Amino acid sequence: MRSTNIIKTLLASGLALAAIHSARPASAFDLDTGNAALEVVVQTAAPVILSTVSPSDASLILRVTAVTTTAWFDAIAPYGPTTVGVYSRLGRRPPGESVTNRNKNIALLYASYRTLNSLIPKEADVWTDMLLSVGLDPNDTSTDITTAVGIGNVAGAAVVSAREHDGMNQLGDEGGCLYNCQPYADYLGYSPVNTAYVVKDASRWQPNITTTGNGIFLVQQFVTPQWSVTTPFSYADPSIFFSPPPFMSRWKGNGFGKGVGFADYKEQADQVLQVSAALTDAQKMTAEFFNDKIRSLGASTAFAAATHGLTLDEFVQLDFLVNLAAFDGGIATWQEKLRYDAVRPFTAIRVLYGDTPVQAWGGPGKGTVTDLPASQWKSYLNVADHPEYPSGSACFCAAHAEASRRFLGSDNLGWVVSIPQGSSLVEPGITPAQDITLSFATWTQFEEICGMSRNWGGVHFLASISSGRDLCSPIGDLAYEFVKAHIAGTTP
Amino acid sequence: MRSTNIIKTLLASGLALAAIHSARPASAFDLDTGNAALEVVVQTAAPVILSTVSPSDASLILRVTAVTTTAWFDAIAPYGPTTVGVYSRLGRRPPGESVTNRNKNIALLYASYRTLNSLIPKEADVWTDMLLSVGLDPNDTSTDITTAVGIGNVAGAAVVSAREHDGMNQLGDEGGCLYNCQPYADYLGYSPVNTAYVVKDASRWQPNITTTGNGIFLVQQFVTPQWSVTTPFSYADPSIFFSPPPFMSRWKGNGFGKGVGFADYKEQADQVLQVSAALTDAQKMTAEFFNDKIRSLGASTAFAAATHGLTLDEFVQLDFLVNLAAFDGGIATWQEKLRYDAVRPFTAIRVLYGDTPVQAWGGPGKGTVTDLPASQWKSYLNVADHPEYPSGSACFCAAHAEASRRFLGSDNLGWVVSIPQGSSLVEPGITPAQDITLSFATWTQFEEICGMSRNWGGVHFLASISSGRDLCSPIGDLAYEFVKAHIAGTTP
């Protein structure tokens, strides 16, 4: 039963895990009593992920967290009574080595060091400092698996070896690339039917034009379509998963005439416009909260660990579980995104209404306006770099919630997040007008609100949210069974 | 005849003007004897431009520098014997007010403050600190044109008023945009015939796929095609300028068959491959040098000001002149880029050779390789966000050199730039293998090497370089005549 100051600080502030960075100096960390996964690795990696991997996509962030938490799980497996690693079987250490957290912490720190150097090699100095900050030697490359250092190094190397060519193209060398290869580049050859300029098929995805405001404009490309063919942890073949077609996204008319499906197509686009026109501060801030996966998904696990008083082992198991659940959910979701290549709301609204004035949110600080040319409508959240259906976030939250329910044995969550006045990233200084709180009494509420927030943010139609949840809730169960079997040591 | 320490530091180091930032604290600035344009405004603005406007395009950087230097010119005009402003006529101040630089410096600082707040409003705090650092009050909004403060404010406001809607779409409100408008957005509706995925016409521009390496890939969009319809300073109508068609870029075959123009098309693409295969360290570093417009064009003016011992008035006149020459050259160049929409080397090489191995530079640190699939070839410099022909850099350097020759009355330059070992941004730590120097004996050499460096960098065919120079050298003359007339006060 542990509840560290750092977690209390986090919960009280309602801020991202990144806030840990300044909450407690790493030098104060105690290898015998601390939780190095949360207090050292997350503390070090969260700011790096936020600044280096982000601004990015959940696909890329989830892969970093899934691979790193796998390394934690495998590194401490030899210290449990029955646990076996996912990518290594390093025997079992005598119980006397687990009287304190020291050996487990050392093993997971070295395993993290190996995986983070593989995942984000540009930040090698940060990973070196991470070990130095707790008095460990980054140059210790021991592979003696009777020692914590050796276990960490071997377990980490095994995870790296298994995942570097898992299909995500982390090294850029998939698809026959020899020169000028880029990490995570698409090697499936996805090409959108619509361009940012011309919509040929109003049912299909249109890449959006983006800018940082500096005068350079760029057009989206589907991020990591190869996630759909990446090796899952908890099931063999994603083709067993299927979402029903996004019927309401089908522009069934003859060309752009108003055909059979027109009423449905218009109805779901109008629903997004109606939500946009009536956006509340709570909806805006909820949309922003769930748009930040570390602040929502990541912090929810830290909160649950504190309220349930999880041990180091239990925290590592739960954090690995929820990350692999979301990651494996993402594989199935990307398969369906690729299958349907579905239109985003911004395109549907433009196609339907062109320059006709509509009533909607008019952009940062503008509130609801009635004379907005539909072609100038913008979703409250920036739209992510992939087709619309099904919703990735609805999937991740559903898989995360189901896995958490199963592991913790309860649907209770009881999380209250404080949102200070003016803390919006979209409308800084303006929204929310007053301090507000977001409350999640249960995991079920958490996943439901998470899903809806994508509609409030204007980036998803309703059907995409229920389909994302239906697709990935069962994957949360598979992930739980997978981790449970590894904890029990009953996997082959 | 002034030669400040700051300029000597700059010249000795061969570094960008941004280096000024740390070379001398602004608090040491003397309003009576100093050059506030170079020592305060450039010192403050260069790092902001490098970090905020960049990574950007020359079109956007040149507009910031052209508008700011216009404000300088107009602000000190009342203190000259005959000079009149471009956008304001504020009478003439008695000679006694120009005995020292104090009034001219104050006027140009307030004028800079007004224009920089219009151009880069996000950095308002930096512009406020800029005035405070030399003891001036940012809240002094005097419009009394018998005072330096009032002259600066009125001259700056006139420049802002004239240029905010000059066609570049600085405020984002051109083309009828009411909501969610973005600064510098295209309102001409340019749409490429080729996509990043499919080449329909091998003569035409293909947007490239870009990434910062974080797993997000984005497709280029033509940056500010509306530069072509932006109001020039030194001529009325860009349609008087014309570049011959890029004949060798024409894929004249039947579809993708090898037709009439094939030999030419192949010849110019092969030339780029041959250069790529034989790249020297000097060529690589020259390409990087001229790719940084502040470090090359900007610093050359600071160097010339030092060697010619220019007064404050002369420096302001020259810096305004060279910036408007390049800016006005850019308008004509963008008109031609839009007219021909010409193919970049990377596309031509891919179309010609597909996955066939070629000999070329193999990417950072790889040197020349012989088994490079042509489809994986990459130019040494990142390719800019616009069609190939004619070369913008060749134009800017030619206009800049011609204007400098005319103003200084000599082709002599005598600039030697030190390039430290390993200082490459493309191959850091590796290139150049030893310290080298780049030497520019004359402005003619400067513009010739500048042009060629675009071919060495792999982003331009040869025809584009000669055409860029031919197009813009006469614009350097027009710019000189324009500034000369304003100095003499002979404009209507």
Find the residue in A nearest to B53 (Cα).
A214
The mean pLDDT value for B167-181 works out to 96
Are B411 and B355 within 8 A, CB to CB?
Answer: no
Q: How far apart are CA A402 and CA A413, in angstroms?
A: 12
pLDDT at A8 over 70: no
User: What tokens appear for A316 in the block?
Assistant: 């590592």
Cα→Cα distances A272→A269, A310, B322, B384, B438, Å: 5, 41, 51, 37, 59
Residue in B185, B213, B373 nearest the CB of A178: B373
Are A304 and A408 within 8 A, CB to CB?
Answer: yes
Provide the number of CB pairs (under 8 Å) joining chain A to chain B: 135
Question: Quick one: pLDDT at residue B253?
Answer: 52
Question: Quick one: pLDDT at residue A257?
Answer: 47
Question: Quick one: pLDDT at residue B12?
Answer: 36
> Beta partners for B439?
B416
Question: Quick one: pLDDT at residue A50?
Answer: 78
The mean pLDDT value for B202-217 works out to 93
Find the residue in A nearest to B369 (Cα).
A179
Question: pLDDT tens for residues B44-76?
Answer: 998 888 777 656 788 999 999 999 999 999 999
CATH class for the domain made up of B209-488: mainly alpha
Give which of A65, A169, A178 to mutate to test B binding, by max B Cβ within 10 Å: A178
b/e map B108-135, b = 16+ CB within 10 Å: bbbbbbbbbbbbbeebeebbeebbebbe
Contact B182 A216 (CB under 8 A): no
Question: Quick one: pLDDT at residue B24?
Answer: 47
Question: Quick one: pLDDT at residue B469?
Answer: 98
pLDDT at A318 over 70: yes
Residue in A59, A215, A221 nearest the CB of B209: A221
Are A214 and B52 within 8 A, CB to CB?
Answer: yes
pLDDT at A105 over 80: yes
Is the complex ipTM higher than 0.85? yes
Contacts of residue A458 in chain B, CB cutoff 8 Å?
Answer: none
Question: Quick one: pLDDT at residue B112?
Answer: 98
Question: pLDDT tens for residues A146-191?
Answer: 999 999 999 999 999 999 999 999 999 999 999 999 999 999 999 9
Contacts of residue A179 in chain B, CB cutoff 8 Å?
Answer: 362-363, 366, 369, 372-373, 376-378
Contacts of residue B59 in chain A, CB cutoff 8 Å?
Answer: 215
Task: Compare B302 and A56 and report the one with higher pLDDT.
Answer: B302
Long-range pairs of A364-367 with CB within 8 A, sequence gap ≥ 24? A364/A426, A364/A427, A364/A430, A365/A427, A365/A430, A366/B179
Please name the residues between 178 and 197 in chain B that touch chain A, using a CB distance below 8 Å.
Answer: 178-186, 189, 191-192, 195-197
For residue B197, give how far its alpha carbon lies from the nearest alpha carbon of chain A (Å).
6
Residues in chain B: 492
Q: Is A212 on the interface with B (CB under 8 A)?
A: no
Q: What's the CA angle centered on B455, arms B196 and B218, to 5 degrees?
A: 25
As a whole-number percent, the residues of chain A with pLDDT over 70 amount to: 92
Q: Is A429 on the interface with B (CB under 8 A)?
A: no
Q: Residue A53 has what DSSP assignment? A: I
Contacts of residue B181 in chain A, CB cutoff 8 Å?
Answer: 376
Q: Is B357 on the interface with A (CB under 8 A)?
A: no
Question: Quick one: pLDDT at residue B260?
Answer: 55
Q: Is B429 on the interface with A (CB under 8 A)?
A: no
Predicted TM-score (pTM) of this structure: 0.91
Are A389 and A337 within 8 A, CB to CB?
Answer: yes
pLDDT at B7 over 70: no
Contacts of residue B177 in chain A, CB cutoff 8 Å?
Answer: 376
CATH class for the domain made up of B5-163: mainly alpha
Q: Backbone phi, then psi, for A281, in 5-degree steps?
A: -60, -40
Contacts of residue B54 in chain A, CB cutoff 8 Å?
Answer: 214
Cite the DSSP H helix spans in B278-311.
281-291, 299-307
Instruction: CATH 1.20.144 in chain B: give the residue spans.
Output: 5-163
Task: Compare B48 and B82 and report the one with higher pLDDT.
Answer: B82
Contact B57 A184 (CB under 8 A): no
pLDDT at A54 over 90: no
Question: pLDDT tens for residues B403-458?
Answer: 999 999 999 999 999 999 999 999 999 999 999 999 999 999 999 999 999 999 99
Please name the residues between 216 and 275 in chain A that touch chain B, using a CB distance below 8 Å.
Answer: 216-221, 223-224
Residue in B214, B218, B377 nearest the CB of A210: B218
Q: How far apart are CA B263 and CA B280, in angstroms?
A: 27
Residue in A59, A179, A213 nearest the CB of B182: A213
Instruction: CATH 1.10.606.20 in chain B: give the residue spans.
Output: 209-488
pLDDT at B3 over 80: no
Q: How far apart are CA A340 and CA A37, in angstroms?
A: 39
Q: Is A213 on the interface with B (CB under 8 A)?
A: yes
Question: Quick one: pLDDT at residue A260?
Answer: 55
Q: Is B177 on the interface with A (CB under 8 A)?
A: yes
Q: How far apart are CA B65 and CA A173, in angstroms?
A: 42
Q: How far is CA B25 from the centre of its chain?
A: 27
User: What tokens appear for B292 in the block?
Assistant: 């940084």
pLDDT at B38 over 80: yes
Please name the residues between 116 and 145 in chain B that touch chain A, using a CB distance below 8 Å.
Answer: 122
pLDDT at B301 over 70: yes
Long-range pairs of A102-106 with CB within 8 A, sequence gap ≥ 24? A102/A31, A102/A32, A102/A148, A103/A79, A103/A148, A104/A75, A104/A76, A104/A79, A104/A148, A104/A312, A104/A313, A105/A31, A105/A34, A105/A35, A105/A36, A105/A40, A105/A134, A105/A312, A106/A31, A106/A36, A106/A136, A106/A148, A106/A149, A106/A152
Q: Is A198 on the interface with B (CB under 8 A)?
A: yes
Q: Is B212 on the interface with A (CB under 8 A)?
A: no
Find the residue in A nearest to B180 (Cα).
A363
Contacts of residue B52 in chain A, CB cutoff 8 Å?
Answer: 214
Q: Is B381 on the interface with A (CB under 8 A)?
A: no
pLDDT at A10 over 60: no
Q: Which of A42-51, A437-446, B82-91, B385-394 has the lowest mean pLDDT?
A: A42-51
Q: For residue B3, give the nearest of B412, B315, B439, B409 by alpha carbon.
A: B315
Contacts of residue A191 in chain B, CB cutoff 8 Å?
Answer: 195, 197-198
Q: How far apart are CA A246 and CA B446, in angstroms?
A: 60
Question: Quick one: pLDDT at residue A5?
Answer: 41
As a whole-number percent, the residues of chain B with pLDDT over 70 amount to: 92
pLDDT band at B258 (very low <50, low <70, confident <90, very high): low
pLDDT at A447 over 60: yes
Cα→Cα distances A222→A188, A205, B168, Å: 11, 9, 30
Q: Is B213 on the interface with A (CB under 8 A)?
A: yes
**What is the overall mean pLDDT for chain A?**
92
For residue A484, give how far its alpha carbon lies from the nearest alpha carbon of chain B (Å).
32
Find the residue in B nearest to A376 (Cα).
B179
For residue A336, give how far its alpha carbon lies from the nearest alpha carbon of chain B (Å).
20
Residue in B56, B179, B198 nearest the CB of A216: B56
Q: Is A477 on the interface with B (CB under 8 A)?
A: no
Question: pLDDT tens for residues B101-154?
Answer: 999 999 999 999 999 999 999 999 999 999 999 999 999 999 999 999 999 999
